Amino acid sequence: MKAETIATHEIADTTLRYVREAESGRAGIELYPTRLADARAIRRDGIGHESYIAAIPRAGDPPAWRVDPLAHVKVVGDPYPGAFAQGRTMRSSPGIDRFAFARQRTDTNGDRTTVVTALEATDGCRIEHRLAWHAGDAAAEVTTTFINGSSRPVTLELLTSFSLGGITPFAPDDAPGRLRIHRFRSVWSAEGRLQTETIEQLHLERSWSGAGLFSERFGQVGTMPVRGWFPFVAAEDVVAGVVWGAQLAWAGSWQMEVSRQNDELCLSGGLADREFGHWTKTLQPGESITSPSATVACVASGIDELCDRLTAVQHRAVDAHPAVEQELPIVFNEWCTTWGDPRHDRLIAIADKLKGSGARYFVIDAGWYKGDVGDWGNAHGDWTPSLKLFPDGLAATAAAIRGRGLIPGLWFEMETVGDASAAFRLTDHLLKRDGIPITIRHRRFWDLNDPFVLDYLTHHVIGTLRDGRFGYLKVDYNETIGLGCDGAESQGEALRQHVLGVYRFFERVRAALPELVIENCSSGGHRLEPSMLARTAMSSFSDAHELVEIPIIAANLHRLMLPRQSQIWAVLHASDDERRLIYSLAATFLGRMCLSGDLDRLSQRQSRLVSQAAQLYAKAAPIIRAGTSRRYGKVGESWRHPRGWQGVVRTSVDGRRALLVLHAFAAAPSNVSIPLRTRDLPRATWRMWDSFGSGEAHAHDGNEVRWRPDNDFCAHIILMER
């Protein structure tokens, strides 16, 4: 198999090599660290020399590898992929070879560079693959557009956002024993568990003859995109020390695939296809569709460094949120105080207690709209403030909070309605499946592409926020639509259009109230993916409000989102001893500090601890806002019953300051040691600048911190400078 280079581009220290397969015209892309260009192997062309092939009459010399296309599409009417692939993948259908390389151009707009590669079929249909980056980035954004340039309708049943082939270019063969896959599992209140498996464990060794096409396809179906898995995949060549990876930005049904037929491994992902996500899309002549975007990167290091590159590009979107967010203000949310029963008098008593505490936002959570009977969880949708809870009106409570120097916030679950609301019966404006309103537990779903719904939510959500002078909006979302809904040629396509409608309403809110800070919550962490992170200032990291595993979840999420956006709860009670208060408060230094619980009932001593933590948090905020994190320690397999210890070192961008967040769990060791001289830091003399916590801690030999936990389930925060 012969391939020629179309063009090469460099992003930071990574080379992007566009290649074209001479015989078929297939175009693909390979990524590799520029400094390792000379380490690339010369691939074997065929496998005819293998004894098990030579023994077969007329077997010839089957190819050892092929160029993986820049994008994979499957058009209804084209043959399906063979090689025993149906039900496992829709990639590599024979129809993909209709799309041959036609041209490539490079566009520059300010500091943004975009490489556009066109693949064309003889019937006029074409694929446009766009790969873009800003100056200073070490990762690239990729999208795929399919244009129906033919004279007939065309129906798609697969469209990838990205496809990376040629993994690994550093092995001449099928790289036995050197490839492994990284993914992140996620379930409610236990988000972000790294799962690493070898290709052999995934049963993805190459087909011995090339006659079998194998794929590990995973993802989720519905509108909770981080449910089961995060939309992330990475492959590592442990011999070359190189990792390739991608993160998808999409709040609906999605899939990733790790695929293999020959020597090379391929990573791809995008919208969930017809087999996985019930999706087809019909395009009339002249129509087009663009995939969700993906961020791709390659690094000559490990999984942490890859994640640094993928998450770093998210800073650009976060910087566009209100200026008040840039200093990472502390949040108070009364959810774990009133548990759905917020009352004016109690809220104002807490606001009085928060004066001068360092807290900036005061969020009124669910229940402010409920009637005299019923529950917060099924009364939402009409959005009429309760006069029983707020005798002088909701706006009066917001004004009283603002009068105490705090920014008032309000909870909405604006995309759904509860069965105790009148809105629940407005079925002409709710999503349906098979003509029946989609009902899950006590919830139904607004059709976000219905003009009536947009007007309704503009009045009730934007109007309530504006009239009450609220400066903060918490958007919750406590169910998933599932496989799809009516309204398009497939339920998966109707779901895709609904997600786009959700995006547009978020944009409407931001346009109407540009100084509003928006929090993304979906039963905690079910929407922690780049498209929702970009549209909101911060996100609830989890629903693990009072659990001992909070620091474990929070630390793992550093690989998947920016800590400046990760809102971590410290639920404080008058019954908590000092050790427990410190344990809870210390976890919030892994992201955005969010206080809840009985703050108005704490003793003076307890309140001083909270104030001390808040003052230290203000000092740590610049490091939390921008830096790199590395995790140390040893935690058992159980998160619910953790054992051992964990230390996270977050280093400032200039490398001169560091934040250490240390937690001991059950059976904690008597001494722990955390290095400060890592791959990111040259050897330097570090000193402790400030600290807060349980047990003794001190700097040792200028490049190490030693901590002696004084008990199980204790914590310590240390600020270092060199």
| Residues 402, 480 within the same domain | yes
Asked if residue 6 belongs to a domain, the reply is no
pLDDT in tens, 37-94: 999 999 999 998 888 888 998 888 899 899 999 999 999 999 999 999 999 999 999 9
| Residues 232, 350 within the same domain | no
The closest of 169, 157, 152, 151 to 34, measured between CA atoms, is 169
Determine the Cα–Cα distance for residues 582 and 57; give it in Å rounded to an integer: 73
For the chain, residues with pLDDT lower than 70 are: 1, 677-684
What pLDDT sits at residue 22?
A: 87
The total domain count for the chain is 2
Asked if residue 679 belongs to a domain, the reply is no
Determine the Cα–Cα distance for residues 594 and 361; give it in Å rounded to an integer: 9
The closest of 377, 476, 382 to 421, measured between CA atoms, is 382
Evaluate whether 192 touches 556 at the Cβ level (below 8 Å). Answer: yes
| Residues 373, 295 within the same domain | no
| Residues 307, 366 within the same domain | no
Q: Indicate the helix (H) or strand (E) that contains 401.
A: helix 394-403
Q: Read off the amino acid at residue 46.
A: G
The closest of 101, 223, 217 to 478, measured between CA atoms, is 223
| Residues 422, 286 within the same domain | no
Q: Is 131 helix (H, G, I), strand (E, B) or coil?
A: strand
Q: How many other CB atoms are found less than 10 A from the CB of residue 466?
A: 12
What pLDDT sits at residue 2?
A: 81
Q: Looking at residue 165, which CATH number applies to its domain?
A: 2.70.98.60
The closest of 253, 268, 226, 292 to 492, measured between CA atoms, is 253
Asked if residue 247 belongs to a domain, the reply is yes
Query: Which contacts qualify for 272-276: CB closer than 8 Å, 24 or more apart?
Result: 272/219, 272/220, 272/221, 272/492, 273/74, 273/90, 273/157, 273/158, 273/159, 274/74, 274/90, 274/157, 274/158, 274/490, 274/492, 275/86, 275/87, 275/90, 276/217, 276/219, 276/221
What pLDDT sits at residue 1?
A: 67
Asked if residue 121 belongs to a domain, the reply is no
| Residues 256, 356 within the same domain | no
| Residues 434, 473 within the same domain | yes
For residue 168, whether the previous peptide bond is cis, meaning omega lies within 30 degrees of 0, is yes
Asked if residue 527 belongs to a domain, the reply is yes
Asked if residue 309 belongs to a domain, the reply is yes
What pLDDT sits at residue 356?
A: 73
The token duo for 649 is 């070192």
What pLDDT sits at residue 342?
A: 97
| Domain edge (last residue) among 264, 284, 313 | 313
Determine the Cα–Cα distance for residues 545 and 596; give it in Å rounded to an integer: 9
| Residues 334, 309 within the same domain | no
User: What's the pTM value of the predicted model, to 2 decimals?
Assistant: 0.96
Q: Is 388 helix (H, G, I), strand (E, B) or coil?
A: coil
Q: Read off the amino acid at residue 468.
A: G
pLDDT in tens, 272-289: 999 999 999 999 999 999
* Chain centre to alpha carbon of residue 198: 23
Sequence-separated (6 or more) residues with CB below 8 Å from residue 286:
148, 149
Tell me which residue range forms the domain holding 569. 330-625
What pLDDT sits at residue 679?
A: 52
| Residues 293, 340 within the same domain | no
| Domain edge (last residue) among 286, 313, 340 | 313
Q: Looking at residue 347, which CATH number applies to its domain?
A: 3.20.20.70
Asked if residue 3 belongs to a domain, the reply is no
Asked if residue 186 belongs to a domain, the reply is yes
What pLDDT sits at residue 681?
A: 52
Strand partners, 417: 444
| Residues 583, 609 within the same domain | yes
| Residues 506, 442 within the same domain | yes
Name residue, tokens 């663009």: 290
| Residues 583, 510 within the same domain | yes
What pLDDT sits at residue 593?
A: 98
Q: How far is CA 456 from CA 191, 471, 478, 509, in A?
A: 34, 21, 20, 13
